[in-house]
């Protein structure tokens, strides 16, 4: 096994144990509001600390970028661990059992390893560049859906950037003319993994951060799908808007949503 993948899995499982125990007593979880509609809990922070500790023991020179801790610069800035200790914090706070840990390892600006772990279902999604994507050691392939008709699309609302809400609804209105239905689960990392696993056909969202989608991005590409921004480019890790799925389906999604894009989107 890739040694960095092994450490990422160990870190994800350690964080998963912390989160699962917290979930059993979620009524006692301490919640802080970072920004409007943006929350962090003591469990987020404990899980991130556990991930960082495990990474530091094996790779003290690497840089770590965490949702809660920000950038922890290492001597080797060519290797970056991009981590979200709890993607789906609101679900966790409400006792809704759908959330995940996301860890991506980027080397010289390219994602080499991705791990997304759902501690409630004990589902471990992994990907290594050039070696494919797996769910609990079972190989993943995107559903080769070639058209929007009958497609199930996952999405997320830009609740932290309400100015994009009208555009979001316009896009959904344009897509629903052909697709079958939408899913809005509350964890972008799991949405991307579900595309890789064929559980949903495609995904689109705006307002994401690198730690939300870096691991899931690799998962889809290693499962035979493609990932792009709303303009069909490759800026999604910085722009925060993303479309993913089988190649033909992504093309159809872009054709539907691009007329809805507002001038604020870059």
Is residue 103 within 8 A of residue 11, CB to CB? The reply is yes
The reply, when asked if residue 229 is annotated as ligand binding, is: no
**What tokens were used for 83?**
């981590």
Is residue 63 within 8 A of residue 71, CB to CB? The reply is yes
Is residue 52 within 8 A of residue 64, CB to CB? The reply is yes
- Widest Cα–Cα separation across the chain: 52
Where does 68-225 show beta strands of DSSP type E? 70-72, 76-87, 100-107, 110-118, 123-128, 132-135, 138-139, 152-155, 181-183, 202-205
Can you tell me whether residue 27 is helix, strand or coil?
helix
The reply, when asked if residue 84 is annotated as ligand binding, is: yes
The Cβ of residue 58 has, within 10 Å, a number of other Cβ atoms equal to 14
The reply, when asked if residue 32 is annotated as ligand binding, is: no
Is residue 247 within 8 A of residue 153, CB to CB? The reply is no
The reply, when asked if residue 191 is annotated as ligand binding, is: no
The reply, when asked if residue 38 is annotated as ligand binding, is: no
* Rounded-to-integer distance, Cα 27 and Cα 9, Å: 28
**What tokens were used for 239?**
């722009």
State the binding site for Mg(2+).
67, 84, 86-87, 212
State the binding site.
67, 84, 86-87, 212
């Amino acid at each position: 096994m890739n040694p960095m993948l092994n450490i990422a899995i160990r870190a994800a499982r350690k964080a998963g144990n912390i989160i699962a125990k917290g979930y059993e007593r979620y009524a006692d979880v301490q919640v802080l509001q970072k920004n409007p509609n943006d929350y962090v809990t003591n469990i987020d922070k404990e899980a991130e600390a556990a991930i960082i500790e495990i990474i530091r023991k094996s790779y003290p020179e690497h840089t770590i970028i965490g949702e809660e801790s920000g950038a922890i610069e290492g001597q080797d800035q060519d290797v970056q661990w991009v981590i979200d200790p709890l993607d789906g914090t609101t679900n966790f706070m409400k006792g809704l059992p759908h959330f995940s840990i996301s860890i991506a390892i980027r080397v010289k600006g390219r994602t080499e390893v991705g791990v997304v772990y759902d501690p409630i279902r004990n589902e471990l999604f992994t990907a290594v560049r050039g070696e494919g994507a797996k769910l609990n050691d079972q190989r993943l392939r995107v559903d080769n859906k070639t058209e929007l008709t009958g497609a199930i699309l996952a999405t997320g609302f830009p609740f932290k950037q309400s100015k994009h809400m009208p555009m979001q609804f316009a896009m959904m209105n344009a897509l629903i003319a052909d697709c079958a239905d939408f899913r809005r689960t509350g964890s972008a990392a799991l949405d991307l993994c579900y595309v890789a696993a064929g559980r949903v056909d495609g995904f689109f969202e705006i307002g994401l951060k690198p730690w939300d989608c870096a691991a899931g991005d690799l998962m889809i590409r290693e499962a035979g799908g493609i990932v792009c921004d709303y303009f069909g480019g490759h800026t999604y890790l910085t722009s925060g808007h993303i479309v993913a799925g089988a190649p033909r389906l992504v093309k159809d999604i872009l054709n539907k949503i691009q007329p809805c894009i507002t001038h604020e989107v870059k």
